[in-house]
A and B are shown apart, each in its own frame.
Chain A
Amino acid sequence: MIETRELSKRYGQFTAVDAISFKVEPGQVLGFLGPNGAGKSTTMKMLAGFLAPSAGSATVAGFDVQAQPLLAKRALGYLPEGAPSYGEMTVREFLDFIASVRGLAGDAGERRIDEVIARLHLERVLEQPIDTLSKGFKRRVGLAGAILHDPKVLILDEPTDGLDPNQKQEVRSLINSMARDKTIIISTHLLEEVHAVCTRAIIIAGGRILADATPAELESRSRYHQAVSLTATNLQQAKDALAKVADIAALEVDPQDNRITAFPKPGRQIFVAVSDALKADQVVVRELALEGGRLDEVFRSITQGAAGAEVRT
């Protein structure tokens, strides 16, 4: 479990994190979203016990990160931003080092190292100095170090940054497979990642929490939620047909591919009505889709709205 109470970090006049409070339970995967400089990494650094908060407190697995730092650090697996590791060491030396600091000794320790190596597919590069590895491998070595002691709480700062799509997929399924009994926080810029791994998302900007909801709830705030998009061979004919649907609030046509998007009036569902109207007018439709909502649009409107509010005050 992770809990923060009014957690703040100030650098002189600048407030990087402003009285953030939240609680993450075991089984939850919390996604930290926010523009660059929003305070995501600073919050994670305070949770990991690297930075001391200016005010407020945080507990990791029940241990206060300030008062009981060693106990908190033992319960925590932390991947810092950029996944730093000692470049001159080989992958095996590095993992042995982490295991030794974590007190994983003997056969059990060896078994666990082998398990993690297999899980992150590091067999091929075990005897290579980390400096000589590609970005994707470096990131996975960092991840291996973070999960080596099978921690109850995981904090991963941009775990899939620099990975190719296949590797991203693998890391996401790794996170999903660990999610059941762990408390996990990840930060990311990739909104599709929130969809893929997170059960809950917190959007922060300017050091403050602007939204705290499940990914589905966030999506439902999108203008595109329940909207219907289609492409038709005859644009004008399709528009005429759609004009007859009462629950449509607005129509938008993408000038590039002539894709029409129909937005429903608040609380209405228009998919059936739209498809019936098109059928009735015998419009030839190449594609017809119900939109779930666009996270990137919600993200933009939430974070830019906040920035605008700040300018005004």
Chain B
Amino acid sequence: MYRPNLTLVAGACVAAAIGTVAIAASHTVPPSVKGRQGAMQVISLHTGLLGEMARGNSDYDAGVAQTAADNLVAVSNLNLSTLFPEGTDNGALTDTIALPAIWSDPAGFQTAWEGFGTAAANLQAVAGDGLDPMRAAMGDLGKSCGACHDTYRAKN
């Protein structure tokens, strides 16, 4: 049976996602902003692969689920200091919705990011074990996204 190389597929999707962001962004957008938006797109892509399985819109595939979770953990290991330099909040720039709270409350921001890391690691531990364990871990992952967005991201 033909099985696509999942790492390659995921990699291509990541590249496509980052490419889309890069094209959409104007050349005046600082590379740090492009970089973090790309990271968010990578998270969105893999949350989507898992979420569509959790919703029953696509068939559960243990291999894809595991790869998606692995990639979420990989992103969660990024050190955010290069992606969120001073002066790149939504008051200074128009192409970002990053709130000044990121810089006024760096400890809280770091804790929120680590919350995503914990949720991603918990998901990674069960993503390949079946649909139900994976779906259960998705709830906490979503909560970790929301916990950070509520405080550190402007509403559109």
Asked whether A and B interact, the reply is: no
